[in-house]
Amino acid sequence: MRLFTKPSWLVLAIAGLLLGLACGPLARQLPTPLPPVPVSTQAAGRLEDKLQQAAATAQVSGDIRITLTEEELTSYIALQLSQSLAERGLTISNPQVRLRDGKLTLSGTYRVDPVTVNPVITLSVTAVNGRPVANVESANFGILPVPGALLSQVSQNINQTLAQQLPANATITSVTIADGQMTILGTIH
pLDDT tens, residue by residue, 40-62? 999 999 999 999 999 999 999 99
Q: Residue 169: is its pLDDT beyond 70?
A: yes
Q: Does pLDDT of 15 surpass 70?
A: no
Cβ proximity of 121 and 135 under 8 Å: no
| pLDDT on residue 2 | 47
Rounded Cα gap, residues 147 and 153, in angstroms: 10
Measure Cα distances from 187 to 41, 58, 62, 66, 173 in Å: 29, 7, 5, 11, 8
Q: Where are the domains of the chain?
A: 41-188
Mean pLDDT value across the chain: 84
Does pLDDT of 8 surpass 60? no
- Residue 7: what pLDDT? 45
pLDDT for the residue 41: 95
126, pLDDT greater than 80:
yes
pLDDT at 141: 86
CB atoms within 10 A of CB 14: 10
Q: How far apart are CA 189 and CA 170, in angstroms?
A: 6
d(CA 92, CA 58): 34
pLDDT at 3: 46
User: Lowest-pLDDT range, 25-34, 45-54, 101-110, 126-135?
Assistant: 25-34
